Structure formats: structure tokens, C-alpha cells
């Protein structure tokens, strides 16, 4: 994993395609049900598309029927949390702790899993490295 938090926005524009830049660097959102990992059940580890930092294990992924990949737990120390009061609601934005790229949002108290958390993550923010036994 490369620490690339020092890159300028222009350097990010060169590294990422326009849609990746919009979501990862401008806190955009991909359209629901369009991401490649929405229904993926492949065992493995999900990493930040921008810097390669490991973020989520596939065993924490669950089907929340929200249109984006959902996880109930991030790997310790991999996520930075920011209060987001946009769109007339209070929610928690999640960013990669390594490169500060936008990943999605975390919602608590919905009861989907015993951990009572839903990380709603844009597929375009992630890369999946399948397990060697999958």
C-alpha cells in the first residue's frame, strides 16, 4: 500500500478516471444498483481503489437491499469518520484513513446485523482481492 495522501487534486485527476475522481475525491455517489460489487459474494478483501489500503473483509459484507455494497465492520484503523449534515440529514461520511478518499457513509441503529452498523460504500471506491481459496 502506497501512502499517497500528499497528492494534489491535479495528480489525483491523472491517477483516476473521471467517475472515480468524482466519487473518491469530490465525495460523489454512484447510482444505486450500478456498482460491480453490489451483489458480489466472492470471499476476499476489499481495498481502497485510490491507494490500495485494505478496508473490509468479505465476511462483513451483507445484503441490505440499498443498492450499494454494505458491510457491518471495517478493518481497525482504516476508516476516518466525518459528520455529514448535507441533504437535510445527519449521517457519518467514511473516508480512507490512508489517502482521505471518500468511500460512502455509515449508518447505525438499523438492525441489519448484530453489529448494528451499515457501511454503505460505493463500488467504484473499492477493489476486491479474492481469497486464494476462492
Q: Of the residues 48, 51, 96, 120, which is catalytic?
A: 120
- In SS3 terms, the chain reads as CCCCCCCCHHHHHHHCCHHHHHHHCCCCCCCCCCCCCCCCCCCEEEEECCCCCEEEEHHHEECCCCCCCEECCCCCCCEEEEEECHHHCCEEEEEECCCCCEEEEEEECCCCCCCCEEEEECHHHEEEEECCCC
- For the question of residue 120 being annotated catalytic, the response is yes
**CA angle 93–94–100, rounded 5-degree value:** 115
Q: Known catalytic residues?
A: 120
Amino acid at each position: 500500500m502506497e501512502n499517497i495522501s500528499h497528492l494534489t487534486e491535479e495528480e489525483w485527476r491523472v491517477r483516476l478516471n473521471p467517475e472515480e475522481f468524482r466519487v473518491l475525491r469530490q465525495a460523489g455517489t454512484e447510482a444505486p444498483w450500478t456498482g460491480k460489487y453490489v451483489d458480489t459474494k466472492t470471499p476476499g478483501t476489499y481495498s481502497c481503489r485510490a491507494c490500495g489500503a485494505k478496508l473490509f473483509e468479505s465476511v462483513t459484507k451483507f445484503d441490505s437491499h440499498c443498492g450499494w455494497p454494505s458491510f457491518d465492520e471495517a478493518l481497525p484503523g482504516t476508516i476516518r469518520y466525518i459528520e455529514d449534515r448535507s441533504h437535510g440529514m445527519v449521517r457519518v461520511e467514511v473516508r480512507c484513513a490512508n489517502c482521505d478518499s471518500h468511500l460512502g457513509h455509515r449508518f447505525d441503529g438499523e438492525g441489519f446485523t448484530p453489529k448494528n452498523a451499515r457501511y454503505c460504500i460505493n463500488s467504484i471506491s473499492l477493489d476486491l482481492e479474492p481469497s486464494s481459496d476462492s
